Structure 1
Amino acid sequence: MGTSASLHYEPVAALAPGVLSAVGYHHAGVEPGLHVGIPAPSLTFIFSTRGPIEVGASAGQATGPDAERAQVLISRLHTNPAYVVEPGEQAGIQMAVHPLAARSLLGVPARELDRLALEGSDVLGPGAARTLRRLQDMPLGPQAFAVVGDYLREQLQQRRAERVRPEVGEAWRWMSRTRGAGSMRNLAAHVALSQRQLTTLFQREVGMAPKAIARLIRFSRARRMVVQHVAVGPSMTLAQVAHACGYADQSHLVRDFQQYTGTSPTQWLRQEHQYVQAGAHVRAEG
């Protein structure tokens, strides 16, 4: 007898400073396929307890011999969709990590994370592998989250990371407050730097310009609103979502969907229906 399909997500409060959100997941009896990993203004950090996660920059790469694989997965910032192989069963704990916390939690600036599926054990050392083994011996629940939280706090205590330039931290906070809709001219003026200087600092720290980060912040908000107000409980149109999020018009929102998900908003909702219904769209902003 086959296993009935189930997707379970259990979000918890932040596990450590710099961890924006954490969720436990268990997919069982799901028809194998591909899941679209959508760009966000955060790093992805996963302890996968059901074998390696296979990822690619295209569907062909994800399902072919060149797929990137990791069981303790750290994924870089990216501005195009990632394609994740969906096996019949998978489980683990997934976290969204603020890119400016990469030094203190991961030991390297975010710009040095250059793969969609970097094996975290190679970056973080044996402690990450030990944590994964402990998680594999226990059910998803409070004890598992406590194990991950203990590990993350140990990481913070062991490192005396270089401080992120205060202008970069304040610029990120400003973009979050304006939900990615503020102008780069006003941002640069707010931190008393030229736009070129600010771009250089962001490239050195996170490997991406502040304008690209602002677009990701704005899109992340728009995507959640599309799910909440267009798909789950229809109360807004796409045009209204675009206006609320600071897009010039609906076509600009659709353009961002096409870049970040590889398809239109309506097609993405159809493709990701089971994940949307299971609550997997919930994610913290940077």
Structure 2
Amino acid sequence: MSGDEWVMAAPHPALRPLVMRYLGYARHEAAPALHRGLPSRHVTLAISLADPMRVIGAPGSGQPSARPQGVLGGMHTSPVLIAQQGHLCGVHVELHPLGLRALFGYSSAELSEHVVDLADLGSRFAALPPRLAAESGWRGRFAVLDEVLLGGFTGTEDPVPELALAWRWLLASGGTMRVAQLAGEVGWSRRHLGEVFRREVGLSPKQAARVLRFERAGTLLRRGTRMNLAELAAVCGYSDQSHLTNEWRALAGCSPGTWIAEELPFLQYDTGKQAAGSQV
């Protein structure tokens, strides 16, 4: 792991309501391995600054070309599988699903369960991987990301207020709030909430809650929690350990133990802590 880099940065202030953060990484002499891009609360922009990505499995029917240099992945309920080895270097950008329209011109629902090659998103994004690779350091790379994302920024387009509120409630509960209660909090019927959620986010409230519970469990596992799986299940809102394990097999394509073994080289980086790694 000597010489490996993990770098985080905040985006330009104008982008911060819509862009959570920039993540940069570089790994040298990585052994052949399978990386699972897991379901999460974000739409993800992922770009390789080394060899093109080798995407061997993607959700739904939206699999990009086999060797894209960068992809934009919507919220999903199954893993994106990427084969990795050798020198790895790239950036990930975590995007708010309700802010995608203001940056890219379409809703998160249009990307749901899809992974799109950046080459298919127009010249501005097709040119992004080589522009980033030409920069010698992370500060310059993150500045390029600011420039490109601001170039398509149409101004903060507020989503439907009730939808934004429902999203915040769901996040705050870690995906444990029941849909009926969520609808009541925003003054909508369950049916209307579901319709708006699917139209704008691409997932139903129940699916989004499922992803959030799963994401919370993954974050705790990354942090090296001392809880056993039964305790982890209880904390994250699962009925029992079997429920947790079954959900991991469905959403990650493997058991929690298998995922930990696969991701061991990456577990020094905790996506739940802004303090992990260096910051720019």
The question of a shared fold, defined as TM-score above 0.5 by the shorter chain, is answered with: yes
- Normalised to the residue count of structure 1, the TM-score between the two structures is 0.84
Pair 1:250-2:247 in alignment: no
For residue 68 of structure 2, what is the aligned residue in structure 1?
70
- Normalised to the residue count of structure 2, the TM-score between the two structures is 0.86
Check the 8 A contact 2:120/2:126 in 1, yes or no.
no
For residue 218 of structure 1, what is the aligned residue in structure 2?
213
1:162 CA drift (Å)? 5.7
Considering only aligned residues, what root-mean-square deviation do their CA atoms show, in Å? 2.5
Give aligned pairs, total: 267
For residue 258 of structure 2, what is the aligned residue in structure 1?
267
For residue 105 of structure 1, what is the aligned residue in structure 2?
103
For residue 143 of structure 1, what is the aligned residue in structure 2?
140
For residue 40 of structure 1, what is the aligned residue in structure 2?
40
Pair 1:24-2:19 in alignment: no
Given candidates 10, 14, 18, the residue that maps to 1:13 is 10
CA distance, structure 2, for counterparts of residue 243 and residue 219 of structure 1: 12
Query: Secondary structure in 1 aligned to 2:81?
Result: strand
- Closer, same or farther: CA 52–229 of 1 in aligned 2, 3 Å: closer
- Closer, same or farther: CA 162–22 of 1 in aligned 2, 3 Å: closer
The letter of the residue matching 1:36 is R
CA distance, structure 1, for counterparts of residue 44 and residue 7 of structure 2: 16
Check the 8 A contact 1:7/1:275 in 2, yes or no.
no
Runs of 4+ residues over 6 Å off in structure 1: none
The letter of the residue matching 2:138 is G
Matches within 5 A, 1:35-184: 35-57=35-57, 68-113=66-111, 116-123=114-121, 125-156=122-153, 159=154, 163-184=158-179
The letter of the residue matching 1:195 is R
In the alignment, structure 1 segments of 5+ residues that lack a partner are: none
Query: Secondary structure in 1 aligned to 2:237?
Result: coil
CA distance, structure 2, for counterparts of residue 141 and residue 147 of structure 1: 10
CA distance, structure 2, for counterparts of residue 240 and residue 246 of structure 1: 10
The letter of the residue matching 1:75 is G
1:67 CA drift (Å)? 5.5
- Per-residue CA deviations over 1:206-257 (Å, capped at 9, x if unaligned) read 2110111111112111111122243xxxx32222222222222222221221
- Closer, same or farther: CA 177–69 of 1 in aligned 2, 3 Å: same
Check the 8 A contact 1:24/1:140 in 2, yes or no.
no
Pair 1:189-2:184 in alignment: yes
1:188 CA drift (Å)? 0.5
Query: Secondary structure in 1 aligned to 2:267?
Result: helix
1:116 CA drift (Å)? 4.3
The letter of the residue matching 1:42 is H
The letter of the residue matching 1:99 is P
Check the 8 A contact 2:169/2:182 in 1, yes or no.
yes
Check the 8 A contact 2:77/2:113 in 1, yes or no.
no
- Closer, same or farther: CA 256–168 of 1 in aligned 2, 3 Å: same
The letter of the residue matching 1:274 is P
Given candidates 216, 237, 242, the residue that maps to 2:228 is 237
Query: Secondary structure in 2 aligned to 1:151?
Result: helix
CA distance, structure 1, for counterparts of residue 217 and residue 83 of structure 2: 25
